[in-house]
Amino acid sequence: MSVPLSQMWTVATYVLKQRLRRNRRYPLVLMLEPLFRCNLACAGCGKIQYPGHILRKHLTVEQCLAAVEE
């Protein structure tokens, strides 16, 4: 699957701006998990060992947007 030209352009201009500002480190990807649980039961996964009340936690829309801004 190829990347759309518009997306490549957006990323390229972002990287160029960061380099012009002499930023050595800058985010390219945000991985956000709004839910603590998953639908898998992988044997080696540490998430399945948490108590139920922890697994039912989730981020609100406001918390997700705040994480993006951060």
Confidence of residue 8 (pLDDT cuts 50, 70, 90): very high
Q: What is the domain partition of the chain in residue ranges?
A: 5-69
35-55 pLDDT, tens digit per residue, is 877 776 777 777 667 788 888
Taking the model in full, what pTM does it have?
0.52
Phi, psi of 41 (to 5 degrees): -130, 55
Looking up tokens 């930023």, which residue turns up?
A: 23
> Using CA of residue 10, residue 11, residue 13, residue 14, what is the dihedral sign?
positive
Q: Which residues of 48-58 are buried (b: 16+ CB within 10 A; e: fewer)?
A: eeeeeeeeeee
Q: What is the pLDDT of residue 1?
A: 61
